[in-house]
Amino acid sequence: MQATVGSLTEMAQKNIQQAAAMDYDTRIKNYQLLLARKTEQEDKSYSSYIEQYLSLYTVDGLKESLTIQFYQQASAIVTTNSHDYLRKAKLFRQCYEYFNYTNIHKRAEDNQKLCYKTAAQKFYVDV
């Protein structure tokens, strides 16, 4: 058990560290793996055997790291159409599933409104 948890933790850490600057999906996926391991194994009877890995991260710290990745990914999207605004809104909403970071609710709402606005503008131009 200790070897498995250790290798998963090390693999996730390595993937996070080696991910390219704009490779948010890889970092998000690996932070989610770490969070899942932490929350699933933290209160189990065998947790003392894997304490060194469980103590590397806190649940709140992992949630904040995930939020930051979603936030940065959303902020990096260059918006040119309603689909881009919708992607940003969805990513900002994913942020606040984990952690209340900066002004995420407002950013999600603003991007959702811009999605509707640009879709309506395109519709009326095409008609």
Asked if the model's pLDDT at residue 8 lies above 90, the reply is no
Phi, psi of 77 (to 5 degrees): -75, 125
Q: What is d(CA 116, CA 80) in angstroms, rounded to the nearest whole number?
A: 13
Structure token pair of residue 76: 């990096």
pTM of the model: 0.81
Residue range 34-85, pLDDT digits in tens:
998 888 877 666 666 677 777 888 889 999 999 999 999 999 999 999 999 9
**Which residues in 35-119 belong to E strands, given as ranges?**
none
